[in-house]
Chain A
């Protein structure tokens, strides 16, 4: 158990819908990262937050947004969902030195 929690574990929804994925980092970690793993793109970085502020952005679609709250948990919002958004979404956290990242169990999103 990495200490990073993610909910829900599975999510099945329809095209055009909006979903929210939730992540709680390890105790004491201020940095949260979101990654997407799809069959054709592999593991891709989406976005990073540090202590409530956005710190780095990857190839995140405009339909996707995220935020980190004062209690340090983070939410990834995916809207206007398309079939191609079906993927495993991972959250990771790290300490202030941004070295080792610990991954949560992931949320498997299926868009029908």
Chain B
């Protein structure tokens, strides 16, 4: 099945800093999604982005499907951005295969 690699595994940011999270895929991109899991465990949809660039407030994402990677940008980070960020893509059956996640801690 598809392999999903996320980097970095951990990120510590000071409030106001910018950061980039990366996701690499072993196979062609189908239905790439980015999620944020907050400290309470909820999985929140951030982006559905099989290709191109999208922006939502301080977050934006870019997927380069031909090169099998996606980037998530966090600008002017806030403490509420803390949590784990996952990228995931579906296989041919529609099952989401998740990466191991990037643990982000934003300090005041």
Contacts and interface: CB of A to CB of B under 8 A. Distances in A.
A37 to B, nearest CB: 8
A25 interface: no
Interface stretch (A16-24, A62-70, A71-79, A92-100): A92-100
Contact of B41 (A48, A101, A106): A106
A2 B44 CA distance: 8
B73 interface: no
A42 B98 contact: yes
Interface stretch (B7-15, B20-28, B87-95): B87-95
Contact of B95 (A42, A58, A102): A58
Main secondary structure on A side of the interface with B = strand
Interface in A43-63: 43, 45, 48, 55-56, 58
B45 A43 contact: no
Given A42-B101, A43-B86, A99-B48, A105 B95 contact: no
- Most B C-beta atoms less than 10 A away, residue of A55, A92, A100: A100
Interface of A: 2, 31, 33, 35, 42-43, 45, 48, 55-56, 58, 88, 90, 92, 94, 98-103, 105-106, 108
Interface of B: 31, 33, 35, 41-45, 48, 50, 86, 88, 90, 93-98, 100-101
